[in-house]
Structure 1
Amino acid sequence: MAEPNFAEHSWDYLERGSVLVVTLSGPANVRLMDPENFAAFEDGEKYAFHGGIARRAPYRLKVPHSGPWFLAIDLDGLPGRGVRHEVSIVPPQKLEERRA
């Protein structure tokens, strides 16, 4: 079996409004998907996602609805051989505290 050409992160539950903060060592595709779309992504089928090409770090993605989520980070269509990354989550409550 071939190695996947993407880094995967998954969460059983993320709350709507949470923000994923992705720190990258270079440009990469950052795709946030629900389980159904992630399965289609893995199978090479048509899928929908939130995110896009992250050219600057940190790259922030807001979780559109509560539930399970998958994050794929890859270099498909981009130059380079690898990218280091780190992902952290800022819950909605922390965002509200920052605004206060």
Structure 2
Amino acid sequence: MRAKHLYWDLGSRAGGASFEVELRGSTARVCLMDVDHYQASLDGDEYEFFGGFYDVSPVILEVPYDDHWYLVVDSNDQRIKVQVTEIFD
């Protein structure tokens, strides 16, 4: 992952927490990563994430397990506006 991306430090979250990501202006890759995988992405190492490439919004992502999480949005240098909202039941 290039260093140019938008990210949100979601902090420690329990599995099952959900986030809605509203994308405006571009398609984007939306990734939910724990702290170790986020650091690996910054270091240029192999990493895993939950999410994918989206051209329809909103995107709903659910935290799969308890950990510290980052939400990363990469729009391939296209201009984009992003709004992230935690969903509470």
Root-mean-square deviation (CA, aligned residues, Å) is: 1.6
Instruction: Give the match's secondary structure for 2:44.
Output: coil
Deviation at 1:90, TM superposition (A): 1.2
Give the % identical residues. Answer: 26
1:36-75 correspondence to structure 2 within 5 Å:
36-75=36-75
Gaps of 5+ in 1: 95-100
Judging by fraction of residues, say which structure has more helix.
1
Deviation at 1:4, TM superposition (A): 3.1
Question: C-alpha separation between the residues in 1 aligned to 2:50 and 2:10?
Answer: 15
Match of 2:84 among 79, 84, 87: 87
Deviations for 1:10-59, whole angstroms, at most 9, x for unmatched residues? 12211211111000012100010001100011111110000001111100
If the length of structure 2 is used for normalisation, what is the TM-score?
Answer: 0.89
Gaps of 5+ in 2: none
Structure showing greater Rg: 1
Deviation at 1:81, TM superposition (A): 2.0
Judging by fraction of residues, say which structure has more strand.
2
Question: C-alpha separation between the residues in 1 aligned to 2:29 and 2:37?
Answer: 16
If the length of structure 1 is used for normalisation, what is the TM-score?
Answer: 0.80
The number of equivalent residue pairs is 87
